[in-house]
Amino acid sequence: MKPNFSLRLRVFNLNCWGIPYLSKHLADRLKRLGDFLNMESFDLALLEEVGLCSTGTEPSLGGWQLGAVRPPVRSPKENPSKHILPPTPTPQQGLAFSGVIGSGLCVFSKHPIQELTQHVYTLNGYPYMIHHGDWFCGKAVGLLVLHLSGLVLNTYVTHVGETNGAWGLGLGAGAGAGSADLRWKDRAPLAVLPGSRIGQDLLHAEYSRQKDIYLAHRVAQAWELAQFIHHTSKKADVILLCGDLNMHPKDLGCRLLKEWTGLRDAFLETQDFEGSEEGYTMVPKNCYVSQQDLGPFPVGIRIDYVLYKAVSGFYISCKTLKTTTGHDPSGGTPLSDHEALMATLYVRHSPPQPNPSLTHGPAERSPLVSVLREAWTELGLGLVQACWWTTFTGYVISLGLLFLLLLCVLAAGEGAKEAAILLWTPSVGLVLVAGAIYLFHLQETKCFNKARAELQHMLRKAREAQNLGPESPPALHLGQQERDRAEEQ
């Protein structure tokens, strides 16, 4: 039996633009961010794009380190309470590194963290797109479980990346590197996923809307995120998702995520909003944002979100939502190229109510079925592109091997022996590079096929459910969760 109570939850979210050696004025911005958090009383501070410093040291908040992607050094002089996670179990137990660089996600919690895990997306961009850096970061979704007065809160955090590329456009010179001293007092268990800086889920950077080669990857990541939330939230009373999704509100990935999970947008639901026009989280007033970053949206774009929902007899609402407007909360230089989101949520006990249908009209015209079909089609286009690359690199490998065989024959003779030897090394290099690209796109095709198979199955189940009655698939999932929890009790 759940207690009858009302709970206030203050949440802070910001993409910090904290890439060492590349981001401008990094040390100063992180210090001012820490000073601001010290003055406020947020229950959760969710940060994206928090990078390691070159020395291997990380910024700290009140004695809790902000990084620690390396295993802790055990020595008699070391105080285990200085680690980023509660001393038991050890921070790295059961957690994996995310990519080569790390996805840059971080969470500070005012409340003890009960569970912590992460899931790396199966599709994470292209390794040969080095200037984008998405593949090297290893974008992921993280999960943070909190117990608040008997209420189970699942917090998911993510970062999809920069609109024009976190590692390419808009970085400029004069970047501030070094070990910024970011401190936040009186905050117990800071949780940072190794290499990923915690439970924020990271989707793909949207580098060009006109020629978007990452669209299929972002849709696949959005579906993977929705599935991860569904499968890990069966025991949760409240679900909270924050982060830089790099998707506009009406983009396919965003609609897919909301329709399937039932998450609500704090900007659309809040009773009191204060901030940028239309809730934009990248605005031209910000001195770190160029018109090139905004592309065809000169007024601004909204790609950072606070999403939430309550289940199992609880009700959640957003009383206030505030964003910065091109400067820090005190009116000074911006804390980042993104605007910060500050939400005040209220959770209260509510008698279980029948789940209203999320759709109206025939199944073929329902929003859920439509968005599932649209996602399935988009992943099909991505699959075609991946198959083309697989076929092309397969031909390159075959021709390269034939050419190497020809060089062996020529080297065995006397006429063109020197030329054959000179061409041998670049030919081997070409075959190896083509082989690596072939293997990558072969894996990509399998990932697309897997996601399309899941979507096709759920599309069929959605049609069946809507033809049988008003209960939609998300409602069916929610009902099943309620039955599972009742059986456990």
Q: Which one-letter DSSP state was computed for residue 72?
A: P
Listed residue (167, 171, 228) closest to 199, CA to CA: 228
Nearest to 481 by CA among 317, 315, 351, 313: 313
Give the sign of the dihedral formed by CA 242, CA 243, CA 247, CA 249.
positive
In this structure, what are the phi and psi dihedrals at residue 58, rounded to the nearest 5 degrees?
Answer: -120, 155
Q: Say how far apart CA 463 and CA 372 lie, in whole Å.
A: 11
* 332/22 Cα distance (integer angstroms): 21
- 65 and 52 in contact (C-beta within 8 Å)? no
Q: Which of 83, 132, 204, 338 is catalytic?
A: 338
- What residue type is 455 in one-letter code? L
Q: How far is CA 88 from CA 75, 97, 258, 434, in A?
A: 16, 19, 36, 46
Kindly tell me the number of DSSP H helices and DSSP E strands found in the chain: 9, 15
Tell me whether residue 338 is one of the annotated catalytic residues. yes
Q: How many whole angstroms from its chain centre is CA 6?
A: 30
Q: Which helix (H) or strand (E) holds 163?
A: none
In a 3-state reduction of DSSP, which class is residue 413? coil
> Beta strand pairing status for 238-244 and 151-159?
parallel
Q: Within a 10 A sphere around the Cβ of 390, how many other Cβ atoms?
A: 18
For tokens 């989707």, the residue is 203
Take residue 232 and report the two structure tokens written for it: 């890990």
**CA 302 to centroid of chain Cα atoms:** 15
| DSSP structural state of residue 265 | E
Q: Exposed/middle/buried for 316, CB within 10 Å: 0-12, 13-18, 19+? A: buried
- Distance (Å, whole) CA 256 – CA 198: 24
- SS3 state of residue 329: coil
Between β-strands 44-50 and 6-18, what pairing exists: parallel, antiparallel or unpaired?
Answer: parallel
Per the listing, tokens 């021709």 go with 399
Q: How far apart are CA 147 and CA 157, in angstroms?
A: 17
List the catalytic residues.
338
